[in-house]
Amino acid sequence: MPYQSPISPGYSWYEATAGERPEYPVLDGDRVCDVVVIGGGFTGLSAAAHLAKAGVNVVLIEQARFGDGASGRNGGQMGTGQRAWPEDQEEEIGRERAQALFSIAEDAKRHMHDFAETHGIDIGYRPGQLSVVHKKRYLKDYRKHAEVMAERYGYPHISFMDRAETAQRVGSSFFHGGVRDTGTGHINPLKLVIGTARVAAENGAQIFENTKATRIHKVGDRVVVATEKGVINADRALVAVNAYGDAKLEPVSAAHVMPIRSFIGATEPLTGAMKDKLIPGGESIDDSRFVVRYFRKYGDDRLLFGGREAYTADNPRDIARHIRKQIAEIYPELSDVEISHAWGGSVGITMPREPFAREVMPGVTSLGGFSGHGVMLSHFTGRLYAEAVTGDNARLQHLRDLKVPAFPGGRSFRKPMLTLALTWYAMLDRL
Ligand SMILES: Cc1cc2nc3c(=O)[nH]c(=O)nc-3n(C[C@H](O)[C@H](O)[C@H](O)COP(=O)(O)OP(=O)(O)OC[C@H]3O[C@@H](n4cnc5c(N)ncnc54)[C@H](O)[C@@H]3O)c2cc1C
């Protein structure tokens, strides 16, 4: 039987092709440590790995298997910069801070490659990303973005594509144009999860799967985290639960980081003319919708296609049907394509689409809300947390300084209000 995660739907192609992976134990008994990390995605695992490498005594607990949240199941697109374009961030936080955040994101990109290389993790990196425009009126913004990135941010890797070039590179005339970024790429996210867990364990972190934190509280100046079979007593804690958190465990993060469910389908390997026509340059692609569609030809020439349906409780078969329909809009030749794997996960978003980094109670830091842009940022942010614990707070402070407000509506109305807002944006995408 394929593994079925208790927290995210479907069986991913990444899981199906991961081969043997180590299982980590359930925490059974109490622990005393310097840092307890809750959440075994990129953020938590990277924090644990870097803390352990620095000699810090760290315990990490994950309620399911590592990567069962967003980190092992995502689109693998690294992107460039933060989720919001720096020129848009400038309006809110000024040029200097937008530049600092852009530099952090470039550091994150380098970190991804260095970490993988240093620790011998094959992350399946492929270069190139196309960001394509589904409404003609967005074209001028994309053209301007390429100019701004080169002239103001010293990033020369983004070039504007007209309609003909876009059609050739995508293998479809569905889009009006876009930009091509040769300074980034895409990865196999589950391989990074598995590799990071290994690095954490090899460096002495005590890491546990199928171990859920049920309570975080303070006893004097210590942080105490309860689980079903043991209590962890630490100097400090990192809450890295992202979209999988709940208000009972930690209400501040839950008020600021909200889940949107996103689904991916992998086709059977493409063959013949379609294999050659689709994305001949091997880039990953994201489009200009608010409810982004993201896809790439990957692995054994499958199309991995992601789209977002925010709040459905679809079962995997429905995911496949839905994804096939979205594929056929762009590639009508694939309207009958077989979807071999279909799965989903929850993306953690914040109101301004900026990461949430905050001390939520003394000694307890929460990190998350990368808003669909966390493949490269979350792993690096875990490292920045480790850096801060071991004495250098400077880079993490840039994220802490972001003024991310809570979603409106209070505990009872937050989710329905978000649902309404997102339905509205999804509708605008179609107009
Ligand atoms: C389908 C999908 C596609 C995506 N595509 C992209 C993309 O192409 N590019 C991109 O940049 N970003 C993408 N993202 C977002 C990206 O995956 C995330 O930003 C990133 O993985 C966040 O990592 P994280 O460690 O913060 O959170 P997660 O990976 O979600 O990890 C949080 C972990 O906390 C655990 N947890 C929660 N509560 C508890 C508890 N009480 N006790 C113990 N453990 C707990 C959860 O089980 C989970 O494993 C996508 C996300 C999804 C879901």
CATH of the domain at 284: 3.30.9.10
The rounded Å distance from CA 224 to ligand 1 centre is 24
Q: Does 306 lie in the same domain as 210?
A: no
Q: Is 48 exposed, middle or buried (0-12, 13-18, 19+ CB in 10 A)?
A: buried
Q: Which of 284, 315, 349 is the last residue of a domain?
A: 349
Q: Which domain holds residue 368?
A: 13-73+190-257+351-424
Q: Which one, of 124, 147, 142, lies nearest residue 132 by Cα?
A: 142
Q: Does 291 lie in the same domain as 360?
A: no
Residue 350 Cβ contacting ligand 1 at under 6 Å:
no
Lowest-confidence pick of 188-192, 308-312, 386-390: 308-312
Task: Give tens-digit pLDDT for 7-58.
Answer: 999 999 999 999 999 999 999 999 999 999 999 999 999 999 999 999 999 9
Q: What is the mean pLDDT of residues 66-78?
A: 98
What CATH number does the domain containing 397 carry?
3.50.50.60
CA angle 253/259/265 to nearest 5° reads 145
Query: Would you state the pLDDT for residue 291?
Result: 82
Task: Give tens-digit pLDDT for 193-206.
Answer: 999 999 999 999 99
Ligand 1 atom nearest to 263, measured from its CA: 1
Q: Does 344 lie in the same domain as 275?
A: yes
Confidence of residue 2 (pLDDT cuts 50, 70, 90): confident
Query: Would you state the pLDDT for residue 205?
Result: 98
Ligand 1 atom nearest to 371, measured from its CA: 19
Q: Does 324 lie in the same domain as 305?
A: yes
Q: Which of 349, 374, 404 is the last residue of a domain?
A: 349
Rg (CA), the chain: 21
The rounded Å distance from CA 424 to ligand 1 centre is 25
Q: Does 173 lie in the same domain as 307?
A: yes
Looking at the predicted structure, is the pLDDT value of residue 313 above 70? no
The rounded Å distance from CA 182 to ligand 1 centre is 26
Query: Would you state the pLDDT for residue 418?
Result: 75
Confidence of residue 221 (pLDDT cuts 50, 70, 90): very high
The closest residue, in CA terms, to atom 8 on ligand 1 is: 75
Q: Does 168 lie in the same domain as 51?
A: no
Q: Which of 323, 349, 375 is the last residue of a domain?
A: 349
325 lies in some domain: yes
Q: What is the mean pLDDT of residues 243-266?
A: 94
Query: Would you state the pLDDT for residue 314?
Result: 57
Residue 323 Cβ contacting ligand 1 at under 6 Å:
no
Q: What is the mean pLDDT of residues 307-329?
A: 78
Lowest-confidence pick of 77-86, 348-357, 401-410: 401-410
Looking at the predicted structure, is the pLDDT value of residue 425 above 80? no
Query: Would you state the pLDDT for residue 429?
Result: 67
Q: Tell me how many domains the chain contains.
A: 2
Query: Would you state the pLDDT for residue 312?
Result: 53
Q: How far is CA 38 from the centre of its chain?
A: 17
Q: Which of 26, 112, 242, 385 to mutate to test the pocket of ligand 1 (most atoms within 8 A of CB)?
A: 242
The rounded Å distance from CA 300 to ligand 1 centre is 25
101 lies in some domain: no
Question: Which residue is listed with tokens 């479907």?
Answer: 10
Looking at the predicted structure, is the pLDDT value of residue 293 above 90? yes
Q: Does 18 lie in the same domain as 58?
A: yes
Q: Does 178 lie in the same domain as 312?
A: yes
Q: Does 136 lie in the same domain as 57?
A: no
pTM: 0.96
Query: Would you state the pLDDT for residue 420?
Result: 73
278 lies in some domain: yes
Query: Would you state the pLDDT for residue 311?
Result: 56
Task: Give tens-digit pLDDT for 128-169.
Answer: 999 999 999 999 999 999 999 999 999 999 999 999 999 999
Looking at the predicted structure, is the pLDDT value of residue 252 above 60? yes
Question: Which residue is listed with tokens 């010293």?
Answer: 154
105 lies in some domain: no
Q: Does 367 lie in the same domain as 276?
A: no
The rounded Å distance from CA 332 to ligand 1 centre is 32
Lowest-confidence pick of 43-57, 340-354, 377-391, 400-414: 400-414
Sign of dihedral through CA atoms 89, 293, 242, 208?
A: negative
Residue 80 Cβ contacting ligand 1 at under 6 Å:
no
Q: Which of 74, 126, 364 to mutate to test the pocket of ligand 1 (most atoms within 8 A of CB)?
A: 74
Residue 177 Cβ contacting ligand 1 at under 6 Å:
no
298: β partners: 302
114 lies in some domain: no
Q: Does 207 lie in the same domain as 315?
A: no
Lowest-confidence pick of 26-30, 163-167, 216-220, 304-308: 304-308
Query: Would you state the pLDDT for residue 99?
Result: 96
The closest residue, in CA terms, to atom 9 on ligand 1 is: 77
DSSP 67: T
Q: Does 266 lie in the same domain as 359?
A: no
Looking at the predicted structure, is the pLDDT value of residue 419 above 90? no
Distance CA 415, CA 402 (A): 23
The closest residue, in CA terms, to atom 25 on ligand 1 is: 41
Confidence of residue 427 (pLDDT cuts 50, 70, 90): low
265 lies in some domain: yes
